[in-house]
Amino acid sequence: MAVGNHSAGDDLQSFLRALPKAELHLHLEGSVEPETVLELNPSLSLDAIRTNLHYTGFAGFLRAYVWLTQQLDSPQAYALATRRMLERLIPQNITYVEVTLSVGVVLWKKQNVEQIFEAIRRETLLFPQIEVAWIFDAIRQFGVEAASRVFEIAKDLRSGGVVGIGIGGDEERGPAAWFGPLYKKARDSGLRLHCHAGEVSGPESIWQALNVGAERIGHGIRAIDDPELLNELVRRDIPLEICPSSNVSTGAVSRLTEHPLRRIWDAGVPVVLGTDDPALFFTDLIHEYMLAGEIFGFSRDELKVLAANSLRYRFQARD
């Protein structure tokens, strides 16, 4: 209830801001706001940029994501994207972030990953308030050979803060099972294993992610259709990184009130909230926690557990 100019929503915002939190599901490329694209390319207009970023459906979303990624045409552009991303995370009291970099797309653009990563890393050193680690993502529909290059580069850049590998893109056109031997090799080289799964495809896709050794699942919301899978996630203590605004924007879920977040939580599955691609979904991490509180009925104690989970399930060991 509003008291004077001060509402319960303001109170919840302050409460959430004060919680130390990690962001574990965030794509650098999907964090590039239209204003940053304009900084990178002043010959574009904000209207034209927004038109390119407008989409419907999951396939349309992936095209918008690729367009955004194409705007990052140099190491300096990636560095600016990193700077603007960190500037948005710090005021939310996010103390640790694992950023996913679509290295599969960097290679597809024929850019030099090492130079880009060096520029990015230099930028992160300007922000000692936040600890930054990286997950190198392959694009599943580009196939096994392309993913193998991504994971090899990840291994070589471990000392620069790459903590894990994953696969993103279109799960219908690149089943996790293809990547089993590569995942094993990555794990043997000390990398942690991530996998987008069960975002638009059914539980079978999540089972495959588990079978190749994924330690955290990006989205995983279709687990709700398979009680045995829910039990397995609980038993193995595998968290789902749930990004409600993303799922509505991409059409993975028809509307927020249909989202299975609460039911997955009630089944006892570990949950971490994330934003995925905040510039494409008009969100930030505090907003996702606000939705949990206001739409999904998470109590303050439950919100505290969500925030604690985000730190608990990080890939990089704490100092």
Point out which residues bind Zn ion (CB under 5 A): 218, 276
Per-position x/- string for 55-94, each x denoting binding to ligand ADE as judged by CB under 6 A, each - no binding: ----------x-----------------------------
Task: Using the minimum distance from each CB to ligand ADE, give the nearer residue, 88 or 304.
Answer: 88
Asked if 152 is an active-site residue, the reply is no
Q: Active site residue: 33, 199, 241, 288, which one?
A: 199
Q: How far is the CB of 103 from ligand ADE (least distance, A)?
A: 12
Site for ligand ADE contains 196 (CB under 6 A): yes
Neighbour count for residue 297 (Cβ, 10 Å): 10
Size of the site for ligand ADE (CB under 6 A): 10
Task: State how far the Cα of 14 lies from the Cα of 12, in Å rounded to an integer.
Answer: 5
Q: How far is the CB of 218 from Zn ion (least distance, A)?
A: 5
Rounded (10°) angle between helices 300-312 and 285-294: 140
Task: State how far the Cα of 98 lies from the Cα of 31, in Å rounded to an integer.
Answer: 13
Task: State how far the Cα of 144 lies from the Cα of 184, in Å rounded to an integer.
Answer: 13
Site for ligand ADE in 216-255 (CB under 6 A): 246
Instruction: Kindly state the DSSP code that residue 75 receives in the 8-state scheme.
Output: H
Per-position x/- string for 139-168, each x denoting binding to ligand ADE as judged by CB under 6 A, each - no binding: -----------------------------x
Among 98, 131, 277, 288, binds ligand ADE (CB under 6 A): 277
Site for ligand ADE in 3-42 (CB under 6 A): 27, 30
Q: Is 57 left (phi over 0), alpha (psi -120 to 50) or beta?
A: left
Task: State how far the Cα of 107 lies from the Cα of 137, in Å rounded to an integer.
Answer: 11
What CA–CA distances, in Å, run from 170 to 40, 108, 218, 292?
Answer: 28, 16, 13, 27
The residues of the shown chain that bind ligand ADE, judged by CB under 6 A, are: 27, 30, 65, 168-169, 196, 199, 246, 276-277
Residues noted as catalytic: 199
